[in-house]
Structure 1
Amino acid sequence: MIGGSTFALDLLLLFLLKELINLHYAFAASIAFFVAVSINYAVSRSVVFKGTVRSFNSGYLIFVFIAGGGLVAVALLMLLCVDMLGMNYLLARITIACLVGIWTYLMNLFINFKVAGKP
């Protein structure tokens, strides 16, 4: 539920930044991604991964590093899908979310949100 709702926020922000403010779709997708995953971190930290042994600030720094990799992937894949493959920017973002979302979740699960006694 957390991932789905923050992804919906990601898409809404992307749409608003692209259509209302007229930002380039790759830049808009990057901003929307970072805002949504930051909210996802705070909520996931307090609800899903309550038992993590890492401090909030330390965890957020690692999270930002992981999200930075996701951010680069989102921007580059958006350019590839929209400019080279001719996909609609929203459809491209949904497709990319499947790949990048799984990667960032797994990276945070195994590296960042270390729960006491478990990886």
Structure 2
Amino acid sequence: MFTITKKSLFWWPVIVKIPSPDSPGVYQEHEFEMQFEAMALDRARAIDEERRGLPADEREARAFDFLFDVARGWRDVVAEDGTAVPFSREVFEAQLQYPWFRDGVLSAYARAVTGQGARLGN
């Protein structure tokens, strides 16, 4: 039975490929889970419309703002000492500065909401 809800929250695996600090040309894969809230089409359109009205430099700087609307939490994210890192906008925003993190989160959300499923294996 299909249930209509006010919010569509779900957990999805995120795979981040980071260049290896020790092996040239090799990536290290790291996986964690992120909780997303599906964005309604009208909200996505409103964000796009708002961005179109901005000057080009600001428009580019805010290209990934929608991620703040869909990202709700994470698990299996740790600091260098192995302690869990609580999800916060500040930490999330800092990680979005790195292309491998941003690409991993974008890909995970896109796969989830387009019905492509989680990536398995290679």
What TM-score does the superposition give when structure 2 sets the normalisation length? Answer: 0.33
Greater strand share, structure number: 2
Q: Which has the larger radius of gyration?
A: 2
